[in-house]
Amino acid sequence: MKHLLSALLIAASALTAQAATLEPAKSDLSFTFKQMGVPVDGKFKKFDAQLDFDAKKPEAGKIAFTVDLGSVSLGDASFDAEVGKAPWFDTKRNGKATFVSTAIKPTGPGKYDVAGKLTIKGATRDVVVPITLNAGVAAGSVAIKRLDFKIGDGEWADTSMVANDVTVKFKLAFAGI
């Protein structure tokens, strides 16, 4: 989910041919889902990205993004422990989520659609992440289906309790732009 942030990194470097460095302390990777109809917000505290991007040739750019699923926070230690278990993120066997770009398409000034492969819990899906780049900050959001990635297996697959729709939001700050 948060792996989509990698797409943001590409956009952030679009303003310059120099390599941009992610500033994790100024960046945010979060998500929202509904449990029994009530919105629940979470975030990831650890993520990393590698990018290769030239603003003059955005279609040739590449980005890889990794999220430490064990760094998830729902604001309560017992919830955080639960979401790390096998039905959810299964962090003992699947500690990382990844996004690897396959194409970058400019859609307007400072705007890009970054297509790529998102992998969570061994399931890989094609996603397109729209991003906006402004003053060294790449931002956006993307909707995914948790069950496409086996998040909430077994009894938790019932979407009347936990909705299938998850919105991943990101704000990535970069130095060197």
**Residue listed under structure tokens 């859609």:** 107
Which residues, listed in sequence order, are joined to residue 28 by a DSSP beta bridge?
171
Q: What pLDDT digit, counting tens, does each position of 54-87 carry?
A: 677 878 877 778 999 999 999 999 999 999 999 9
Helix (H, G, I), strand (E, B) or coil at 15: helix
Pairing of strands 62-68, 72-73: unpaired
Tell me the C-alpha distance between 98 and 116, whole Å: 10
Q: Does domain 2-175 have CATH number 3.40.50.12780?
A: no
- What residue spans define the domains of the chain? 2-175
What is the reported pTM?
0.83
Segment 91-142, tens digit of pLDDT = 999 999 999 999 989 999 889 999 999 999 999 999 999 998 887 788 889 9
CB count within 10 Å of CB 122 equals 10
The confidence band for 158, taking pLDDT boundaries of 50, 70 and 90, is very high
Residue 53 has which token pair?
């991007």
